[in-house]
Structure 1
Amino acid sequence: MTQRKLKIGIDVGGTFTHAVAIDVTRTELVGKAVVPTTHGSEEGVAAGVVQSMLRLLEEAAISPDEVVLIAHSTTQATNALLEGDVAKVGVLGLGSGASGLRARREANVGRVELGPGAFLETTFRYLDVTGGLDEAKAAALIDELIAGGAKAIVAAEPFSVDRPENENRVVALAQERGVPATATAGLTQLYGLRMRTLTAVINASMLPIMIETANRTADAVARSGIDAPLMVMRSDGGIMDIDAMRQRPILTMLSGPAAGVAAALMYERITNGIFVEVGGTSSDICLIRNGRPEIKAAEIGGRRLFVRTLDVRTVGVAGGSVPRVRRGKLFDVGPRSAHIAGLEYESFTEDLGDVECALMRPKPGDPEDYLALRRGGDITHALTPTGASNLLGLSEGYGRGHAASIQSAFEAAGRYFGTSAKAVATRMLELGAARVAPVVKRLVAEHKIAATDLVMVGGGGGAEAVVPFTARSLGMEFKIARHAEVISAIGVALGILQDSVERTLLHPTESELLALRREAFDRVARMGADPETIEVHVEIDRRERRVRATASGSPQLRTKDLSGPRPGEDELRAIAAGPLGVGETEVSSLGSRDSWLRTFTAERRARVFFGLFRVWRMPATVLDAEGVVRYVTKDAFAVATKAEDAEGQLSELIERYTTWGDGGLVVPEVQLVKPHQIVDLSGLGEANQLLALASAELAALDAADPVTILVIPRS
Structure 2
Amino acid sequence: MADNTETAIFLGIDTGGTYTDAVLWSERDGVIAKAKALTTRHDLSVGIAGAVERIVEETAIRPADIRLVSMSTTLATNALVEGQGGRIALVMIGFSQADLEKADLKTALGSDPVVFVPGGHDVYGRPQLLDTAALSEALPNLAREVTGFAICAYFAVRNPEHEIAVRDLIRNVTGLPVTCSHELSAKLNGPRRALTTVLNARLIAMIDRLVAATEGFLDRSGIHAPLMVVRGDGALVTAAFARHRPIETILSGPAASLVGARHMTGLDNAIVSDIGGTTTDVAVLDKGRPRLDPNGATVGGFRTMVEAVAMRTFGLGGDSEVSLDDNAMAPSIKLGPRRLVPLSLLAANHGESVLAHLERQVKAPNVGRLDGRFALRTGVPAQLSSGLSKSEAELYERITSAPQPLDRLLASISQAATVNRLVARGLVHVSGFTPSDACHVLGLQDNWNAEAARYGAILYARRKDGAGRSLCDTPEEVAHRTYDALIRRSSEVVLETAFAEDELDGPETAASPLVQRALSGDGRIAGVKLAIDRPIIGLGASAPVYYPAVGAMLGAECVVPTDTDVANALGAVVGQVRVSVEAHVSQPAEGVFRVMAGEVLKDLPFEEDAIAFAETVLRQQVSDLALQAGTDEGQIVVSRNISAATVEDQRKFIEAVLIATASGRPRIVH
What TM-score bracket applies, with the shorter chain setting the length?
0.5 to 0.7
Aligned to 1:119: 110
- Deviation of the 1:174 alpha carbon: 2.5
Structure-1 residue corresponding to 2:47: 48
Q: Distance in 2 between matches of 1:87 and 1:275?
A: 32
Kindly state the Cα deviation for residue 244 of structure 1 after the two structures are TM-superposed.
Answer: 1.3
Task: Give how far 1:197 is off.
Answer: 1.9
Letter matched to residue 188 of structure 2 = Y
Provide the residue aligned with 2:652 in structure 1: none
Q: Check the 8 A contact 2:86/2:146 in 1, yes or no.
A: yes
Q: Is 1:442 paired with 2:441?
A: no
User: 5 Å matches for 1:497-646?
Assistant: 497-501=577-581, 511=612, 519-520=621-622, 522-529=624-631, 531=633, 534=635, 551-555=662-666
* Per-residue CA distance 1:342-366 (angstroms, 9 max, x = gap): 954413459x99x9xx997379799
1:581 corresponding residue in structure 2? none
Aligned to 1:153: 149
1:1-150 superposed matches below 5 A: 4-26=7-29, 28-40=30-42, 44-94=43-93, 100=94, 102=95, 106=99, 119=110, 121-128=112-119, 137=133, 140-141=136-137, 143-144=139-140, 146=142, 149-150=145-146
Q: Which residue of 1 aligns with 2:523?
A: none
- 1:361 corresponds, among 437, 460, 463, to 460
C-alpha deviations, 1:349-384, integer Å up to 9, x for none?
A: 59x99x9xx997379799989779658xxx896688
Q: Bigger radius of gyration, 1 or 2?
A: 1
What's the % identity of the aligned pairs?
Answer: 27
**Partner amino acid for 2:139?**
D
Does the C-alpha gap of structure 1 residues 451 and 33 become closer, same or farther in structure 2, counting only changes over 3 Å? same
Aligned residue pairs total: 498
SS of equivalent residue, structure 2 residue 199: helix
Higher relative contact order structure (alpha carbons within 8 Å, sequence separation ≥ 6): 2
Match of 1:485 among 556, 565, 583: 565
1:404-463 CA deviation, whole Å, 9 max, x = no partner?
A: xxxxxxxxxxxxxxxxxxxxxxx9998577535533541442399x97653432222333
* TM-score using structure 2 length: 0.60
- Deviation, structure 1 residue 228: 0.8
Q: What does 1:302-451 correspond to in 2, within 5 Å?
A: 302-314=301-313, 337-339=434-436, 343-349=440-446, 361=460, 374=475, 435=492, 438-446=495-503
Residues 315, 123 of structure 1: CA spacing in aligned structure 2 closer, same or farther, 3 A cutoff? closer
Structure 1: gaps (5+ residues) = 95-99, 386-426, 558-715
> How far has the Cα of 1:251 moved from its partner?
1.3
Q: 1:278: Cα distance to partner?
A: 3.5
Contact preservation (8 Å) 2:297, 2:311: no
Distance 1:241 1:57 in 2: 23
Write the distance in 1 (CA, Å) between the matches of 2:486 and 2:164.
55
- Change over 3 Å in CA distance of 1:546–1:332 after alignment to 2: farther
Contact 1:497 1:554 in 2 (8 A): yes
- From 157, 172, 178, the equivalent of 1:176 is 172
- Call closer, same or farther: CA 1:17–1:363 in 2, change over 3 Å: farther
Q: Read off the aligned partner of 1:445 and give its amino acid letter.
A: D
Structure 1 residue 269, shift from structure 2 partner: 3.8
Q: Which residue of 2 aligns with 1:294?
A: 291
Q: CA RMSD in A?
A: 5.2
Q: Distance in 1 between matches of 2:501 and 2:153?
A: 41
TM-aligned CA distance change 1:223 to 1:114, over 3 Å: farther
Following the alignment from structure 2 to structure 1, what is the Cα–Cα distance between the partners of residues 181 and 490?
44
Specify the alignment match of 2:274 in structure 1. 277
Take 2:33 and 2:158, find their aligned partners in 1: how far apart are those partners?
49
Measured after TM superposition, the shift of residue 201 of structure 1 is 2.0
Aligned-residue offset at 1:287: 0.4
* Contact 1:372/1:383, CA 8 A, preserved across alignment: no
Q: Residues of 2 paired with 1:111 and 1:440: CA distance?
A: 23
- 1:347 counterpart letter in structure 2: L
* 8 A Cα contact 1:320 1:462, kept in partner: no
**Which of the two has greater strand per residue?**
1
**Judging changes above 3 Å, is the alpha-carbon distance between structure 1 residues 93 and 369 closer, same or farther for their aligned structure 2 residues?**
same
Q: Give the Cα separation in 1 of the matches to 2:244 and 2:319.
A: 38
Instruction: For structure 2, list consecutive stretches of 5 or more residues without a partner in the other structure.
Output: 121-125, 337-432, 506-529, 588-606, 644-654
1:500 is displaced (CA, Å) by: 3.7
Q: What amino acid maps onto 1:67 in structure 2? A: I
Cα 1:283/1:88, change in 2 over 3 Å: closer
Contact 1:107/1:197 (<8 A) preserved: no
Are the structure 2 counterparts of residues 147 and 69 from structure 1 closer, same or farther at C-alpha, using a change threshold of 3 Å?
closer
Q: Does 1:454 align with 2:534?
A: yes
Contact 1:89 1:205 in 2 (8 A): yes
Contact kept, 8 Å, 1:263 with 1:495, in 2: the verdict is no
